[in-house]
Amino acid sequence: MMMIRIYLSGFLIFFIYHLQAQVTATGNDGATTSAARTYNTGAPMRPKLIVGITVDQMRYDYIDKYWGDLSNDGFKRMVKEGFFARNIQYPYTPTYTGPGHAAIFTGSTPAYNGIIANDWFERSTGKFVYCSADSAAIGIGTSLPGGKMSPHYLQSTTIGDELKLFSNKRSKVIGIALKDRGSILPAGRTADAAYWFVGESEGVWVTSSWYMKELPGWVTYFNARKKPDEYLSQDWYPLLDESFYDESSADNNAFEQPFKGTIRPVFPYRLSDLKAQNGRYDLLKSVPFGNTLTIDFAKAAIEGEEMGRDEYTDMLCLSFSATDYIGHQFGIHSRESQDAYLRLDRDIAAFLKYLDETIGKGAYLVFLTADHGGTPTPGYMKTDSAAAGYWKSERMVNELQSYLFTQYGAGKWVINESNQNIFLNHDMVRARNLSLRSLQEDVRQFLLKYDEIAMTYSSSDLSSSSFTDKMGSKVQLGFSQKNSGDVIYVLKPGYIEYGLQGTTHGSPYMYDSHVPLLFFGYGINQGESFAPHSICDIAPTVAAICKIPPTNACIGEPIMQIVK
């Protein structure tokens, strides 16, 4: 009899427990509530908020190089409490800002997502197109042309797009950056909004009619506070004592570009004096305070849109653009670049603390990477007899045109050269009954006579063959059969087409393709790895953590060491 009572009691407890679970899991309409969106452990199935951070032109070595000068709560916290993937590479070329942001968030390369450069020559119209320009779009919050932007050139879904699809549009997805392409391409085509900073005479955060008809009240309020004026009233001094900048070159050297209106590129920079001759509010893009302003606006977006407040995962795509402008102007070895990263480190520390307090520790997921690295300034490198130099494509185009004139007759054979792509005149090829493949091969061989050029590839070979060597594969993964040129060339390591001061990027070499990757927060193992991975592996890793489908053109694989 006692055994029967025990059995019945156990059965009743089991029955009541499951009845309570059913009541908790469904409302009166039978809809599943947040209580049911957990595993048996009680842990939430997905992070409340994903923050995807792209640091424009952040080289892989910066974290280690500046480690002793970093705070404990920024990059160091992400490394010590999160996962540091140390061998992340861009598997394609060119390594520019637009393609980089697109690759991170689509898990694909230019060959698949359509963003083959920041701007490219369009053979069908004979004009250049910009990767986020849209003549049909109307600027919202600005009267300047910088508002006419959208993601209409993007051909694949992003992480944010997949979140929107998975949640039946309940997830909020927002992109924020000083650069329009740094906010638009990561957020994707179905994002709730992308906001970017229009400087010049306005100094405001804006969007376009692709996303909305008018700015939300919180954006209007933020713009009315005139924070850009506050930052431009400051002077840019080094954050730390001069002795801390021993990782960088001397403050005054010939390889850095001074601001307009100044003679030498040296601290301090009095921004109020520089503003008039340096783009007015656009000056903020070229100083560390532009990154701080981006953080300010990101916080306003989280609060204004109530991101991370409900059971549906939201996503904030955040790009720090000022580091790129500073790197271009001063170079990767400058004190200005080092100071920009030390200040960004403190900004990230404050932002992580803010997320702890508003979203909750362990409830949000952050990943941080870069859209490309940066080339050591050739002039600076040559002072130590390094192999480096400068390239002038105009001379090559003129000589190639003369050669083709001699070989094939009068006419304009080269209709464009850009992004190290050469576009030949297909109409003349057809009119003269020539073999396009043979002409491409002739041009390819002609280019190899230049000492600065390392490799050449024809579009015929890129379209019909599979390149297995690393450099050939990178060219192929950045190649579009519809929009790339007839012949693509790659310069030797250390060579750039740029001015003699500052630097640029875009090559397939490690200094441009090797970037950091930090994962931090929800669902992340603590540790580091030197295993090789592609930048295209980030998007499927986030998808795996959030248990959503990968992006539709994804060619990467989840980095399983990162995921708990």
The residue type found at 318 is L
Both structure tokens of 345: 């480190």
Q: Nearest-5° angle of CA 211, CA 216, CA 220?
A: 120
Q: Is 313 a catalytic residue?
A: no
CB 56 within 8 A of CB 321: yes
Other beta carbons within 10 angstroms of residue 425's beta carbon come to: 18
Yes or no: say if 100 and 108 are a contact pair by the CB < 8 Å rule: no
The total number of residues shown for the chain amounts to 564
The active-site residue out of 97, 106, 313, 377 is: 97
Are the C-beta atoms of residues 533 and 417 closer than 8 Å to each other? no
CA distance 260 to 277: 6
Other C-beta atoms closer than 10 Å to the C-beta of 61 total: 13
Which among 156, 54, 173 is positioned nearest to 109, based on CA atoms?
156
CA gap 433, 436 in Å, rounded? 9
Cis peptide bond N-terminal to 268, omega within 30:
yes
Closest CA to 324 of 137, 528, 165, 179: 179
**How far is it between the farthest Cα atoms of the chain?**
109
CB-based contact 503:496 (threshold 8 Å)? yes
Which residue shows structure tokens 């083709």?
Answer: 404
Give yes or no for a contact between 247 and 65, defined as CB atoms under 8 angstroms apart: yes
Q: Let me know: does 534 contact 88? Beta carbons within 8 Å.
A: yes
By annotation, the residues acting in catalysis are: 97
